[in-house]
Amino acid sequence: MTTITLAVPDEMKHKMEAFPEINWSEVARQAFRQKLEDLEFLEKFKSSSRMTEADAMNLGRELNKNLARRYTTD
């Protein structure tokens, strides 16, 4: 296993110290693992997709409009 060092803001470090029972290294490992899985999924999806960048932008805009409509309408 390789060791790396992370820098966190002082405020975050103080908050983390309030929970000494938490294995923060394991929390970081899990976050890294999840991010890598997400990125690998996106790479695989992108490599097999015929969607253009313009198509993706249009889809994103439409999704944003629909979400905004859903959460701003009573």
pLDDT in tens, 24-70: 999 999 999 999 999 999 888 878 878 888 988 998 999 999 888 88
Q: Does position 74 have pLDDT exceeding 80, yes or no?
A: no
Q: Is the pTM of this model over 0.75?
A: no
CA distance 57 to 60: 5
Q: Output the pLDDT for position 70.
A: 84
Six token digits for residue 13? 């470090």
Q: Output the pLDDT for position 42.
A: 86
Q: How far is CA 38 from the centre of its chain?
A: 8
